[in-house]
């Protein structure tokens, strides 16, 4: 397995729209394993392939307390979302040290392929529902800060660009 580098906002590669996986083969299973290792190491509770500069529709998530509940979503689709919406404090491994409130549907039904290429579905609520929507946004080239005000986005961009310059 390998730990992968995570892109940092406002890297333009975070805005690429990921393409569907044509065949769930050993290459995709290796990507899933590397993404899972990267996510657990970060640590985070979700990771989209876009964040590791692989522009294919693959997500890993683990919201379990014991960190042994890996969920794999290949070509995920939200097939239903509740009208009821809820505000959550979100963070992102691609936007370090930034947390802010985002409103999303509080329940979603998601269909995806697993690591064997089989179709599966899940009804998600609470943190899992937030995380799935956050990760599917990544596959669509969207970062959670884009839900915030333009003023906040500009402040975040300049803060993170200063952070990159100071590390050169």
Tell me the site size for ligand K2U, rule CB under 6 A.
16
137 binding ligand K2U? (CB under 6 A):
no
92 binding ligand K2U? (CB under 6 A):
yes
143 binding ligand K2U? (CB under 6 A):
no
CA gyration radius, the chain? 16
Considering the complex, what minimum distance in angstroms separates the CB of residue 38 from ligand K2U? Answer: 11
Site map (CB under 6 A) of ligand K2U, residues 39-58, x = contact: -----xxxxx----------
Considering the complex, what minimum distance in angstroms separates the CB of residue 1 from ligand K2U? Answer: 19
Which of 126, 131, 46, 60 has its CA nearest to residue 93? Answer: 46
Considering the complex, what minimum distance in angstroms separates the CB of residue 26 from Zn ion? Answer: 27
Check if 135 is active-site.
yes
92 binding Zn ion? (CB under 5 A):
yes
Residue entry with tokens 């409130």? 101
Q: Which residues bind Zn ion (CB under 5 A)?
A: 92
Active-site residues, by number, are: 135
């Amino acid at each position: 397995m390998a730990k992968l580098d995570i892109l940092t906002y406002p890297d333009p590669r975070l805005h690429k729209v990921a393409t569907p996986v044509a065949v769930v083969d050993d290459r995709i299973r290796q990507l899933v394993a590397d993404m899972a290792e990267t996510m657990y190491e970060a640590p985070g509770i979700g990771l989209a392939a876009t964040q590791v500069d692989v522009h294919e529709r693959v997500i890993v998530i683990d919201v379990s307390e014991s960190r042994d509940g890996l969920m794999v979503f290949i070509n995920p689709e939200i097939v239903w979302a509740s009208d009821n919406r809820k505000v959550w404090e979100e963070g992102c491994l691609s936007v370090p040290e930034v947390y802010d409130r985002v409103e999303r549907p509080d329940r979603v039904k998601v269909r995806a392929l697993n690591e064997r290429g089989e179709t599966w579905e899940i009804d998600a609520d609470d943190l899992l529902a937030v995380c799935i929507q956050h990760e599917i946004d990544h596959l669509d080239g969207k970062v959670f800060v884009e839900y915030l005000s333009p003023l906040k986005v500009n402040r975040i961009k300049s803060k993170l660009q200063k952070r990159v310059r100071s590390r050169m």
